[in-house]
Structure 1
């Protein structure tokens, strides 16, 4: 992706658009940052094949629709502030939040997200799952309408968990995983700002670790994992530990942000919401395990010849570092906490 200088330029513009939205103090400048971000991501998505072109077109149409709704009802809010025009603010807030949730791909506005993800290369998919959510979720934290956010959080957790069933495409599995994590992130946003930022940082790190392996071995379907990781048992163990960490299974690093949210909901006696989130997380763990149990138990073979893969050693070393953080992160943090 970064071999072409124009892609580096568009990546920098993409980051600048997000920073404009985060640092803006008016609806108009926030919308401008979102548009800069959108128009710089479209050239990055296009990898000169039909699937990426289709994905970029779908992404543009959905984001343009959401931006139109966002700027239209933002004007109503600006008119109410500057000219004291009496309007029903709750309807304007609901429609602005709906436009932002559509941009993020949160349920029930998630219909475009898996199909767009399916046509992208892994680098672009990672940007779509992580960086492209930063600006919308910051705007979402400015206009909090609690009933709608709780409804979307529950919908995202359930749709992200159930949608991963019977999926063989790894990109679609990661898309539904992202939708499920978005439900947890929305609940964390209702608690305080530092909690959802912490969750987002952990999610981005764990997602990077998993996607880095998929990119190195050029994987796109589950059945490729069975044969491509068969020659290295340590690599296979690290891969599936990372998947379990992304699912939030203790005692891995991915359990820490979920632990904080579970603790916060328990203190506030929101047991029904907590039960829905935990059950959805357990269901999503199923399709992470589905990637692993066949390779370990049902389809395990030893090859009689030497099979070597050509991969970038720098990326492999980076993967090993991130994997060690993912697998042993909770142990390290607990040890430091005890020592202090």
Structure 2
């Protein structure tokens, strides 16, 4: 990612808005920071030559969600009813994050994006709505959309062949984990977000380097690259003993103490995601292309495989303690 002054300014603004949101208790201030965050992301979207009307679509969807949120704040202040029970506020935040039933815009917007913007949309853009949901809404209110998202989103991934759409649905599946982790504790959210960001960064980097837009393009790559991509994707789904399994295990242990429904949805979601990704990726590993084999350098190592192997060390540490 080439860094010019515009990109640096926008990224700095996005980071500052996230820090401001974590340090305020005012809902109006949080709303304002979320809008500044959105306005910082839009110029980065328009820089891409492939983006035609996508930034405008994204802006309309986000503006509609912001308007609904502002209206819910005003209505609650007029009627003096608690914000935590506002369905209107919940709907606006679900639309902001792209959770079911307001999820259809995520794959549509991500498909023509470049990989850097996809990475930012899947990680940085989700932090502020996650903070607002966890602070302002109760688990009882958001339980249904969160459980639906975790169960339905992996099923929607089955028929997808575009890697960007697969990543979009993966992001939708992981969003409820972010919300639940933030509701449990801020340290859990930080742990999950760090691992999730690292995994997403490695996958998007690999996809960009190898120019992979569809799954069948992976068949033409050498085995080491194919294995590294598949390991990363399985790590995101929460398959043990990969790196992505441990933050999910931590969240599950905390959640099972107060909600059996949510924890069961989390388990089923991870099982379905893992099964679907293995089913999707198995032809890529089984079929070898009839082409001249590329000789790899002896000292060449796939860093993402090494990072995921750290999961085994963590498992041993946890078992021994």
The CA RMSD measured in Å over matched residues stands at 2.6
Aligned match of 1:242 in 227, 232, 239?
232
Distance in 2 of aligned mates of 1:21 and 1:267: 29
- Name structure 2 gaps, 5 residues minimum: none
Q: For the Cα contact (< 8 Å) 1:225–1:291, is it kept in 2?
A: no
Q: Any residues of structure 2 matched to 1:204-215 within 5 Å, and which?
A: 204-215=197-208
Q: For the Cα contact (< 8 Å) 1:19–1:33, is it kept in 2?
A: no
Q: Any residues of structure 2 matched to 1:79-98 within 5 Å, and which?
A: 80=77, 86-89=79-82, 93-98=86-91
Q: For the Cα contact (< 8 Å) 2:182–2:189, is it kept in 1?
A: yes
Distance in 1 of aligned mates of 2:44 and 2:80: 40
1:324 aligns with 2:306: yes
Distance in 2 of aligned mates of 1:276 and 1:305: 44
Q: Shift of residue 236 of structure 1?
A: 2.5
- Write the deviation string for residues 92-141 of structure 1: whole angstroms up to 9, x where unpaired: 73222221221111112212111111121100000000000111111112
Q: For the Cα contact (< 8 Å) 1:159–1:179, is it kept in 2?
A: no
1:273 to 1:58, Cα distance in 2 relative to 1, 3 A: same
TM-score norm. by structure 1 comes to 0.84
1:67 corresponds to = 66
TM-score norm. by structure 2 comes to 0.89
User: What is the total number of aligned residue pairs between the two structures?
Assistant: 319
SS of the equivalent of 2:86 reads helix
Q: For the Cα contact (< 8 Å) 2:7–2:44, is it kept in 1?
A: yes
1:223 corresponds to = 216
- Write the deviation string for residues 228-282 of structure 1: whole angstroms up to 9, x where unpaired: x23xx333222222221111111111111221233234444x4443333222222
Distance in 2 of aligned mates of 1:48 and 1:266: 43
Q: Any residues of structure 2 matched to 1:22-101 within 5 Å, and which?
A: 22-49=22-49, 51-77=50-76, 80=77, 86-89=79-82, 93-101=86-94
Q: Shift of residue 287 of structure 1?
A: 3.5
Distance in 2 of aligned mates of 1:276 and 1:48: 38
Q: Shift of residue 307 of structure 1?
A: 8.1
1:244 to 1:9, Cα distance in 2 relative to 1, 3 A: same
Q: For the Cα contact (< 8 Å) 1:107–1:155, is it kept in 2?
A: yes
SS of the equivalent of 2:212 reads coil
